[in-house]
Structure 1
Amino acid sequence: MSVASQKNMSLNIDRLNKDISVFPQVHPVTPDMKITHKGVSRLVMIDRYSFKDTEKVTLTEGDFVVLTIKEDPKFPARGVGFIVSIDWQEKKAEVLVDEEFRSALDDPKEQETGIIRRPLDVIEKPLEIYYEQIAKRNATGLASVEKTEEKRKEWFEKFYNELVNLNFIPAGRVLYGAGAQTDVTYFNCYVMPFVPDSREGISEHRKQVMEIMSRGGGVGTNGSTLRPRNTLAKGVNGKSSGSVSWLDDIAKLTHLVEQGGSRRGAQMIMLADWHPDIVEFIISKMQNPRILRYLLENTEDEQIKKAAKDKLNFKPLTEREEAMYQGVVNYKHIPGYGGFSAEIIKEAEEKLKTGGTYTVHNPDFLTGANISICLTKDFMEAVEKDTEYELRFPAVEKYTKEEMAHYNEKWHEVGDVREWEKQGYAVRTYRKIKARELWNLINICATYSAEPGIFFIDNANEMTNAKAYGQQVVATNPCGGFRLTLNIAG
């Protein structure tokens, strides 16, 4: 494509309005519209909130599109551009990418020309290219609950005036969903009730999380009501795999569920500081082998050492590898290092010293969620006094049939081992740990992996106005938890 023809690629408003007429939800472009936003803000508006022709029934050459310009499993890059040509048989298209997004392209030729060839699956055609269109759709949707046409028109004008003047900007799920005539949620984030400690309860919780996420909502879950690893499960005469394994299963939904719009799924998963699985939970997302080795060498607590060791994976050098690294090190005292750099020789020495390579087991474990610890006042007092702290859970192994029935019915409504004990039910102390050892573990992991975050759950329940409605704070949504993670990580 010539430079001249590239410059001629621009929005064809008349053709776009003709395409828009196929979609009754979308308002046409009018001459008075001017709000497009700039840079990242424009990309976010177009990518996340604009109504699109997802089935590509109107897609044609010259169309303005948003697409994945760099396909990466963890960090894909999005951008905008214009369709140059479409190969419907191969289901691919050539796109001229806007200049501001070309730096994300890996191929030098693509960077130079801006022309990339991508599958149609990663290309979307936005029909709302001005914020005013989104505001009109939102106002139409929000006013639609009124019973008369007169009232609908009145409230459309009121909503639109506030939205278009940016006096009020709804949450992202409202911007995307209101007036779109789709089954998406108008709420960005949810906090789920405590998870019932049964296969049926976990399955129901998982089902609800999946439904919420499929409609674009983020979810917060507190797994403190799930029994610890190796606790007896009388019904099947076996042992529990533990709260952390079940929470990982729930977290995987983030990767499995395709959300409404292009927003990536979000989950916050929490566990109380008194839960016997808390050490495993904290270490579960540590991806740095050096920090795990540091914990092994500098921690007194045996359970922390075991959790760090279980997370570490060591692959010893083969005889051939050892000989190769030794051969490199032998050039250390030769002028010019025999062509090797000092960095390569240092790396070879390190390999010989450690005797192999350290990696981590289950690197994708719990990656579908941010994690945070629910910190109690009891724990923080133990940290301040440098005393031991009890890791406890309801003594389900000793419960009678009647007590177990009550546990199954009521434990997930209480969700706090301290309150459960106050109500007269037996609680088992699984072990004791020095509070400062646990506190240091939280801080080390948060410093070097940005997780876990911390949530002062007792303070939250003392200060919440939910008490007036007989309710309690169970967890935070992903947005709240993300900020907590940043705070502790500094």
Structure 2
Amino acid sequence: MKAKGYTFDEAFQASLDYFNGDELAAKVFLNKYALKDGFGGIFEKTPAEMHLRLASEIARVEAKYPNPLTEQELFDLLDHFKYIIPQGSPMTGIGNNHQIGSLSNCFVIGIDGLADSYGAIIKIDEEQVQLMKRRGGVGHDLSHIRPKGSPVKNSALTSTGLVPFMERYSNSTREVAQDGRRGALMLSVSIKHPDVESFIDAKLVEGKVTGANVSVKITDDFMKAVVENELFKQQYPVDSTSPTFTTEIDAGALWGKIIHNAWKSAEPGVLFWDTILKESLPDCYADLGFKTVSTNPCGEIPLCPYDSCRLLAINLYSYVKKPFTKEAKFDFKMFKEHVALAQRIMDDIIDLEIEKIDTIIAKIDSDPESDEVKHAEGLLWEKIRRKTLQGRRTGVGITAEGDMIAALGLRYGTPEATDVAEEVQKAIALAAYGSSVKLARERGAFEIYEATREQNNPFIARLREADPQLVADMEKYGRRNIACLTIAPTGTTSLMTQTTSGIEPVFLPVYKRRRKVNPNDVSSKVDFVDEVGDAWEEYIVFHHKFVDWMIANGYPAAKKYSQEELDELIAKSPYYKATSNDVDWMQKVKMQGRVQKWVDHSISVTINLPNEAEESLVNQLYIEAWKSGCKGCTVYRDGSRSGVLLATEAKKEEQDCECYEPPVIVAKRPRELEAEIVRFQNNREKWIAFVGLLNGRPYEIFTGLYDEDDGIYIPKNIEKGTIIKSVDAQDKKHYDFQYANKRGYKTTIEGLDGKFDPEFWNYAKLLSGVLRYAMPVDQVIKLVQGLELNNESINTWKNGVERALKKYVLEGTEARGRKCPSCGQATLVYAEGCLKCTSCGHSKCGG
């Protein structure tokens, strides 16, 4: 029976009701997770329908095994994102027969043996694209590429080194990410590689490597050389006992470069590679194909080539009983039960992933291309299928840790809070591994399990010390999954989670002038102060649960508070001095190191520093992260990325003088305007925009469907022309577009104003008027986004206008009032016509 479809308006209203009026959460759900077909048809209007779909499919897998969970039991765990939350790819793909894609969030690719050839480089490039088009994030390592200047046996004579191939892979990511498709890439390289300095500098070059995150694999020997001020040997090949090239460098100088770049642009991240390999359970099977070579784009899953991972998070806040009271307590009993079920669900999702991979392979086999064309893609998915079944790797993680800590009456970053965080993560490790052992008894161990290989692994040693019987059972029955745990960024999922569980972040910005504050921005329960004045000297982040804390502690819910009273309440609350810029950063690093001991994969966390933080602090944090046993570390200094973008833009302006002039209002339109063509797709339909420019700034816009039947035919190579204002015999104004073909002959398309839908034209006149009077382009885009239109075709037009105008926003301009759909931070900037997050690297080039 065909699923019932919904109009966007029907689905949006139902979703808005579900999320208690939170438009952001409703739009995130509909845009990213609601069941849709390839033409944009919507088949789920609320997360309840999505959770029912997930529960039904997981129950179908459960029925194949002993002691199956029922659909209702599964739904109760998922409902309202309260306890167990499958992450992006599983939420989107499970039970989705409309689109062909993988359930894995992330992959790593690579080639066994020698891989320093164009054939190998191009092969990896194709595999990266094939995975990204199925919604997967991809990581791979470049340490196999010979350094710049090395001799090669082709007409080039010498190697170009790493950087040109970084650009190649970055460009492929940007290409596959267009039209809203996902594309996330991690490029890594060993600190031992002679080109590592060029690698870390490449991200600072304007317009280069904009489609990738970069991280350096740091060895213990290098860190010791840094601390002890010694020389360090680089070589190629990096792991060879008889390298063809060696050089000694000043370790401190290279480390200083890493620190400076991280301070300046939030990259490179560092991966403490010896810690990763020493702790890794999969690397106990390195000779069987499980040697870790790189990480996924966010860094929380170190992987071997062609392995992948699906992610799931447990909402920690939901296990706090009597939150924000003196009797607040964490319910470890229920928590451990749910962790065991989460691990079981993750194993079920592996079976569902195999079904998806089989569908992908069948799709490839049925494609009309020749076997020669299809061979690489088909072989790629065969290798992924094999690796998935061999290891059955899972990624059980957490979300809402900060709210859990606050609900318990603790302050994030304090020793007491760190003790609780470690205790909770230890409970997760024991419960998840206990569940995996139980699953091995019921369903069988992962096929290459061998207890003797793991007997000296530090993580297993910690499990043995904490629960000897667990490890004894593991050695007897095996384990279902080669590795189980991670802490990943929960991104857009957390936006939906926080809304429905009552922990939505609420921001009270710094006010440099007096301004009215809407009490509903904080809570409908409490009538907050009418005004906030100059006394707010720092950016204070509240959570919706701050209100619950007030009520739980006897403060009147319906009362106006003076500014002084509110300041006093803030100081008493567990959220005071607990925001990213307030916490003790060194304590946060130490906390990460302690928690890491109970996570078999890695932890993705960014240390957020204020803009005024000095490079010496970044140095101290990175060194402490290594000493504390962290597997990786990334810092983000407030405004660092946008600052770099603006700086490089300014540098270009000085060199090329291709800058915007200060805005000059020209109310009377010149007869002719230079124009650019912007082509794009909306819901698989081809659209076109003609943007008239004055002094390089958008002055007017015409946009709509690209329909040759309506007389709009322009060769693809034509990107520029002229919009000419003309007057006909009836004294009516018209706008014509004129361009020159490759032979120099001019072609005129008459009556642009009549080529598109009349309603589109009326809105375009409105926007052109706004542009004409020099409103900043980013604010025009914000105006377009805020239009509340109840016609689906007009909403599509609105998205098209936004996409056309993004190209003209100055590089590095902050997207004020918008949050990153991946990490939820208000750190989006415009870069190369795309919205990019300076916190997590997320990029979206669509509307």
Q: Which runs of 5+ in 2 are unaligned?
A: 301-488, 490-603, 608-632, 637-847
Asked if 1:387 corresponds to 2:252, the answer is no
Indicate if the aligned counterparts of 2:4 and 2:43 stay in contact, CA closer than 8 A. Answer: no
Deviation at 1:169, TM superposition (A): 1.1
Asked if 1:428 corresponds to 2:245, the answer is yes
Asked if 1:264 corresponds to 2:182, the answer is yes
Question: In structure 1, what is the Cα distance between the partners aligned to 2:192 and 2:4?
Answer: 59
Indicate if the aligned counterparts of 1:232 and 1:240 stay in contact, CA closer than 8 A. Answer: yes
Question: In structure 2, what is the Cα distance between the partners aligned to 1:285 and 1:22?
Answer: 45
Indicate if the aligned counterparts of 2:110 and 2:140 stay in contact, CA closer than 8 A. Answer: yes
1:189 matched residue in structure 2: 106
Question: In structure 2, what is the Cα distance between the partners aligned to 1:194 and 1:484?
Answer: 29
**Amino acid in structure 2 at the alignment position of 1:178:** I
Greater shift in the superposed pair: 467-476 or 225-234: 467-476
Question: In structure 2, what is the Cα distance between the partners aligned to 1:172 and 1:192?
Answer: 21
Question: In structure 2, what is the Cα distance between the partners aligned to 1:237 and 1:53?
Answer: 48
Indicate if the aligned counterparts of 2:186 and 2:212 stay in contact, CA closer than 8 A. Answer: yes
Question: In structure 2, what is the Cα distance between the partners aligned to 1:263 and 1:46?
Answer: 15
Deviation at 1:240, TM superposition (A): 1.7
Indicate if the aligned counterparts of 1:276 and 1:392 stay in contact, CA closer than 8 A. Answer: yes
Question: In structure 2, what is the Cα distance between the partners aligned to 1:203 and 1:254?
Answer: 14
Deviation at 1:223, TM superposition (A): 0.7
2:31 matched residue in structure 1: 47
Question: In structure 2, what is the Cα distance between the partners aligned to 1:128 and 1:275?
Answer: 50
2:174 matched residue in structure 1: 255
Deviation at 1:161, TM superposition (A): 3.0
1:160 matched residue in structure 2: 75
Indicate if the aligned counterparts of 1:372 and 1:452 stay in contact, CA closer than 8 A. Answer: yes
Asked if 1:443 corresponds to 2:259, the answer is yes
Indicate if the aligned counterparts of 1:194 and 1:221 stay in contact, CA closer than 8 A. Answer: no
Deviations 1:146-198 (A, max 9, x none): 788x99x9754443332225321111101111111122111111122358222
Question: In structure 1, what is the Cα distance between the partners aligned to 2:140 and 2:69?
Answer: 41
Asked if 1:473 corresponds to 2:316, the answer is no
Deviation at 1:53, TM superposition (A): 4.9
**Amino acid in structure 2 at the alignment position of 1:264:** R
Question: In structure 2, what is the Cα distance between the partners aligned to 1:176 and 1:262?
Answer: 15
Q: Which runs of 5+ in 1 are unaligned?
A: 1-17, 56-123, 288-362, 395-416
- Of 105, 116, 141 in structure 1, the residue corresponding to residue 57 of structure 2 is 141
Question: In structure 1, what is the Cα distance between the partners aligned to 2:151 and 2:76?
Answer: 61
Alignment of 1:56-205 (within 5 A): 126-145=42-61, 155-164=70-79, 166=81, 167-181=83-97, 182-193=99-110, 196-205=115-124
**Does the C-alpha gap of structure 1 residues 168 and 34 become closer, same or farther in structure 2, counting only changes over 3 Å?**
farther
Q: Report SS of the residue matched to 2:298.
A: helix
Deviations 1:415-472 (A, max 9, x none): xx24x21xxx34311x332111100101111111111111101111011111332333
**Does the C-alpha gap of structure 1 residues 446 and 54 become closer, same or farther in structure 2, counting only changes over 3 Å?**
same
Question: In structure 1, what is the Cα distance between the partners aligned to 2:299 and 2:182?
Answer: 17
**Does the C-alpha gap of structure 1 residues 19 and 185 become closer, same or farther in structure 2, counting only changes over 3 Å?**
closer
Q: Report SS of the residue matched to 2:139.
A: strand
Deviation at 1:253, TM superposition (A): 1.9
2:132 matched residue in structure 1: 213
Q: Report SS of the residue matched to 1:252.
A: helix
**Amino acid in structure 1 at the alignment position of 2:184:** A
Question: In structure 2, what is the Cα distance between the partners aligned to 1:176 and 1:264?
Answer: 13
Q: Report SS of the residue matched to 1:208.
A: helix
Deviations 1:283-310 (A, max 9, x none): 11115xxxxxxxxxxxxxxxxxxxxxxx
Question: In structure 2, what is the Cα distance between the partners aligned to 1:488 and 1:32?
Answer: 35
1:9 matched residue in structure 2: none
Indicate if the aligned counterparts of 1:138 and 1:175 stay in contact, CA closer than 8 A. Answer: yes
Q: Report SS of the residue matched to 1:372.
A: strand
Q: Report SS of the residue matched to 2:147.
A: coil
Indicate if the aligned counterparts of 1:372 and 1:454 stay in contact, CA closer than 8 A. Answer: yes
2:220 matched residue in structure 1: 377
- Of 216, 220, 227 in structure 1, the residue corresponding to residue 146 of structure 2 is 227
Indicate if the aligned counterparts of 2:139 and 2:296 stay in contact, CA closer than 8 A. Answer: yes
Indicate if the aligned counterparts of 1:227 and 1:393 stay in contact, CA closer than 8 A. Answer: yes
Question: In structure 2, what is the Cα distance between the partners aligned to 1:488 and 1:478?
Answer: 12
Deviations 1:366-390 (A, max 9, x none): 1101111110111111111212222
Deviations 1:123-157 (A, max 9, x none): x5643221011112223333455788x99x97544
Indicate if the aligned counterparts of 2:15 and 2:45 stay in contact, CA closer than 8 A. Answer: no
Q: Report SS of the residue matched to 1:389.
A: strand
1:117 matched residue in structure 2: none
Indicate if the aligned counterparts of 1:185 and 1:215 stay in contact, CA closer than 8 A. Answer: yes
Deviations 1:318-366 (A, max 9, x none): xxxxxxxxxxxxxxxxxxxxxxxxxxxxxxxxxxxxxxxxxxxxx2211
**TM-score of the superposed pair, with normalisation by structure 1:** 0.54
Indicate if the aligned counterparts of 1:36 and 1:129 stay in contact, CA closer than 8 A. Answer: no
1:489 matched residue in structure 2: 635
Deviation at 1:43, TM superposition (A): 2.4
Indicate if the aligned counterparts of 2:202 and 2:209 stay in contact, CA closer than 8 A. Answer: yes
**Amino acid in structure 2 at the alignment position of 1:427:** T
Question: In structure 2, what is the Cα distance between the partners aligned to 1:269 and 1:426?
Answer: 23
Asked if 1:21 corresponds to 2:167, the answer is no
Q: Report SS of the residue matched to 1:480.
A: coil
Asked if 1:461 corresponds to 2:277, the answer is yes
Indicate if the aligned counterparts of 2:5 and 2:42 stay in contact, CA closer than 8 A. Answer: no
Indicate if the aligned counterparts of 1:218 and 1:267 stay in contact, CA closer than 8 A. Answer: yes
Q: Report SS of the residue matched to 1:232.
A: coil
Deviations 1:206-251 (A, max 9, x none): 1211111111110111111111122111255622221221122112
Instruction: Say which structure, 1 or 2, has more relative contact order (CA 8 Å, 6+ apart).
Output: 1
Deviation at 1:478, TM superposition (A): 1.1
**Does the C-alpha gap of structure 1 residues 175 and 385 become closer, same or farther in structure 2, counting only changes over 3 Å?**
same
Question: In structure 2, what is the Cα distance between the partners aligned to 1:277 and 1:428?
Answer: 12
**Does the C-alpha gap of structure 1 residues 375 and 126 become closer, same or farther in structure 2, counting only changes over 3 Å?**
same
**Does the C-alpha gap of structure 1 residues 368 and 469 become closer, same or farther in structure 2, counting only changes over 3 Å?**
same
Indicate if the aligned counterparts of 1:243 and 1:277 stay in contact, CA closer than 8 A. Answer: yes
Indicate if the aligned counterparts of 1:255 and 1:265 stay in contact, CA closer than 8 A. Answer: yes
Give the alignment's Cα RMSD to 1 decimal.
3.5
Question: In structure 2, what is the Cα distance between the partners aligned to 1:157 and 1:136?
Answer: 9
Indicate if the aligned counterparts of 1:450 and 1:485 stay in contact, CA closer than 8 A. Answer: no
Question: In structure 2, what is the Cα distance between the partners aligned to 1:170 and 1:475?
Answer: 24
2:207 matched residue in structure 1: 364
**Does the C-alpha gap of structure 1 residues 178 and 43 become closer, same or farther in structure 2, counting only changes over 3 Å?**
same
Question: In structure 2, what is the Cα distance between the partners aligned to 1:478 and 1:286?
Answer: 19
Deviations 1:248-288 (A, max 9, x none): 211222211148x946311111111111111111111115x
Q: Report SS of the residue matched to 2:143.
A: coil
**Amino acid in structure 1 at the alignment position of 2:212:** A
